[in-house]
Structure 1
Amino acid sequence: MTDEKASGTIVSGRPAAVLGSALVGILLATGTALASGSLPPEPLSAGPFANFAACRTYLETTHQQLSAMAMPKPVTNPAGGTRQVVIYTKGVSQDGSEQATYEAEVGYEFRHVDPGRRSIITNYTWERYSMSCHGAAFDGTLERGYALPGIVPAP
């Protein structure tokens, strides 16, 4: 996704997403990715908008709503382990007089300790949003994905 990810905060990054349900792993202790996958992009619809300003306002509102989901620190799950929602985005950008884009990734990290393996298992799913306004015309897609669990030695 991006080289600038910082767990639990909104950071500069590239493409986006929200509320995925597939499991996603991060990295093995060796730093190699196990595997990942994604579903085909789904079209997003919004509008119709009366003008470019209304379309851009929709992008900014979406950015605020997704950013509000970010969790600065992992939260303990009642069943054990932790969960955290992380957001990677640069926010709304405007190129030209009536063209604006918004890309964001919403990541869902779930961690738990596997005592038998003496390891921390991390599952990660993501949703990537890619939206744009060309004048009053809106275009957008949502892609969802995952990777196999990441495993690191427990301290």
Structure 2
Amino acid sequence: MSAFRLQQLKGHILPANKITSMAGSPSPLTTHVLNIAMGTPGSNMALSLYQQDPSTSAWDLITTGTTNNDGRCPGLITQQLFTPGVYKLHFDTAQYWASMGETSFYPYVEIVFTINDPSQKYHVPLLLSRFSYSTYRGS
């Protein structure tokens, strides 16, 4: 396993890929983590965004980040980089629950989805408890 992947699994955010706020440039892809067990935002959760390479099926890392106090991670991807294809959002749920002194059945959650029309806005929320999760395409 690569050193990068080990750092990623440990929840470390590498500066070269860290999400930064894009003032005045809203991301066409957004997410929102909600801790439905406690009725609070899923704040301070590490996540990564990947796009699948159609020729090899390998996952190319686009960026990493951490949810803010509202459970959101602004600036996931620019409109210019947002192209048709298969994407994956990887959420480090084990670290999130461990930070609250809890364990979880799911060490991570990966949501894989297809983008056909990158001119649209896509919202991919994660509704989470220690023993379940759900998602949907929002707007």
Q: TM-score, normalised by structure 1?
A: 0.26
Q: TM-score, normalised by structure 2?
A: 0.29
Higher relative contact order (CA 8 A, sep 6+): 1
Tell me which structure has the larger Cα radius of gyration: 1
